[in-house]
């Protein structure tokens, strides 16, 4: 499968990984938009939020609970931002579901673009 994040998960493309478990991998975004900018990625190839089904409920719960753990591990004690881009109109460029975890600065407004 020609998917960038599947290749990163398989170790075929290098990344700076900060966490890994049986369901998820977390690595640094190559173009960080904040001092901490991580991507929380399910090992399973799911295209986007729009493709989620009931069978993924366990994964979603795991994933959500992972976010504050990773944020704490990264020292984001005063808060953090999570972003999920869905589909071309939502700004998604890598079509393997992922959550952006941003922090380390006081992030302005609700926007994501700099
Ligand atoms: P999207 O717009 O799909 O939500 O975000 C994809 C993210 O993946 C972007 O923030 C982009 O900087 C990041 N990205 C693209 N290619 C690579 C790569 O090869 N390695 C890493 N670590 N991040 C990447
Ligand atoms: Zn993939």
Q: Domains of the chain by range and CATH?
A: 4-103 (3.30.428.10)
Range 24-39 average pLDDT = 97
How many angstroms is it from 78 CA to the middle of ligand 2? 32
106 sits in the region (left: phi over 0; alpha: psi -120 to 50; else beta) called beta
> What sign results for the dihedral spanned by CA atoms 64, 1, 86, 17?
positive
Is 98 annotated in the active site? Answer: yes
Residue that is written with structure tokens 């190839």 in the block? 45
- Assess whether the C-beta atom of 94 lies below 6 angstroms from ligand 1: yes
Cβ-contact 8, 27 below 8 angstroms: yes
Compute how many other C-beta atoms are within 10 angstroms of the C-beta atom of residue 35.
12
Nearest CA to ligand 1 atom 19: 30
Is the whole-model pTM more than 0.85? yes
Ligand 1 centroid, distance to 29 Cα (angstroms): 6
Q: Is the CB of 27 under 6 A from ligand 1?
A: yes
Render pLDDT for 66-111 as a digit per residue (tens, 0 to 9): 999 999 999 999 999 999 999 999 999 999 999 999 999 778 765 5
Judged against a pLDDT cut of 80, whether residue 40 lies above it is answered with: yes
Question: What pLDDT sits at residue 113?
Answer: 53
Q: Using an 8 Å Cβ cutoff, are 82 and 110 in contact? A: no
């Amino acid at each position: 499968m020609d998917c960038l994040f599947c290749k990163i998960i398989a170790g075929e493309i290098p990344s700076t990984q900060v966490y890994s478990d049986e369901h998820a991998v977390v690595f640094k975004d190559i173009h960080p938009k904040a001092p901490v900018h991580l991507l929380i990625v399910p090992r399973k190839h799911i295209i986007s939020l729009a493709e989620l089904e009931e069978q993924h409920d366990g994964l979603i719960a795991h994933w959500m609970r992972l976010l504050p753990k990773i944020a704490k591990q990264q020292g984001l004690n005063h808060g953090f931002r999570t972003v999920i881009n869905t589909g071309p109109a939502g700004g998604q460029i890598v079509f393997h579901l992922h959550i952006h975890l941003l922090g380390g600065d006081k992030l302005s407004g609700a926007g994501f673009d700099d």
